[in-house]
Amino acid sequence: MRAAHLSLFLCLVLLAGPAAAADLGLQPVVGEVPAFVLEPLGEGETLRSESLAGRVVLLHFWATWCAPCRQELPALERLAASLDPQRFAVVLVSIDEEVPPTEVEQFARGAGVRGPLYRPGAKDVVDQFCGWGLPVSYLIDSKGGFIGRVMGARDWSDANVLAAVAQLGSR
């Protein structure tokens, strides 16, 4: 199984170009994408992983107490606004447990985030995706498989990063 995911990652690098993988800092992820359920922060509907089928997904975990997370929120919003929502989804998941959801939402809106915000629907979502620290982002292909993981903050509005992510969404 691990060899298959490594092969997929290498194919992605070849198809998207070495610059795309370098710009994103993609790391291979072994295993299947676990099914997940995310609850909305504020108004909105529960998001189930299967509802994202057919789109490339950037599943991004962050928290208000994480300085790099706070700094990259505006760039993630710009990334989401620049991509075709029929082919790509940016899903922002706050793992704040001690901060009331209304305060998390207010914080994100103050940082310029206009799209939907989520929190884990169950503790296992955090356990499955956030064992490496924050921020952490997962790219998931349109068939629900891992493309790779980005650990740490990125300038998601950098022209090279935008081009690399747009290439992934055009497949």
Write out 15-48 in H/E/C secondary structure: HHCHHHHHHHCCECCCCCCCCCEEEECCCCCCEE
**pTM of the entire structure?**
0.84
- Report pLDDT for 115: 92
The tens digit of pLDDT for each residue in 37-71 reads: 999 998 889 999 999 999 999 999 999 999 999 99
User: Please, what are the domains in the chain?
Assistant: 2-169 (3.40.30.10)
CB 25 within 8 A of CB 19: no
123, pLDDT greater than 70: yes
Q: pLDDT value at position 1?
A: 40
Of 129, 171, 127, 120, nearest to 150 by C-alpha is 129
